[in-house]
Amino acid sequence: MAETSSNNGGTDQVLVEETASVRTFILNRPKQLNALSFQMFLDDYYGTQISRLLELFHASEGDSNVKMIILKGNGRAFCAGGDVTAVVHNVRHGNWKLGADYFREEFTLNYVMATYSKPQVSILNGIVMGGGLGASVHGRFRVATEKSVCAMPETALGLFPDVGASYFYSRLPGFFGEYAGLTGARLDGAEMLACGLATHFVPSERLPFLEQALAKVNTSDPDVISAIISRFSNIPKLKAESPYHKMKIIDRCFSRRTIEEIISSLENEALNKKDDWISSTIQSLKKASPTSLKISLRSIREGRLQGVGSCLIREYRMVCHVLRAEFSKDFFEGCRAILIDKDRNPKWEPSRLELIRDDDVDHYFCKIDDEDWEDLKLPPRSNLPPYAVAKL
> Tell me, what's the pLDDT at 86?
86
Active-site choice (154, 178, 191, 211): 154
What pLDDT is stored for residue 39 in this prediction?
63
Q: Which of 73, 82, 134, 309 is catalytic?
A: 82
Query: Which of 12, 83, 105, 162 is flagged as catalytic?
Result: 162
Give pLDDT tens digits for 224-263.
Answer: 999 999 999 999 999 999 999 999 999 999 999 999 999 9
Q: Is 158 marked active-site?
A: no
Q: Is 162 labeled as catalytic in the residue annotation?
A: yes
What is the model's pLDDT at position 301?
A: 98
What pLDDT score was predicted for residue 47? Answer: 64
pLDDT of residue 11: 57
pLDDT at 93: 82
pLDDT of residue 70: 98
List, run by run, the mean pLDDT of 10-residue segments along the chain (392 residues). 37 91 97 83 56 96 97 98 88 87 96 97 98 98 98 98 98 98 98 98 98 97 98 98 97 98 98 94 98 98 97 98 96 96 97 98 96 95 87 83
Q: Which listed residue (131, 181, 184, 189) is catalytic?
A: 131
Q: Is 154 a catalytic residue?
A: yes
pTM above 0.85, yes or no: yes
- CA geometry: angle at 34 spanning 31 and 39, to 5°? 95
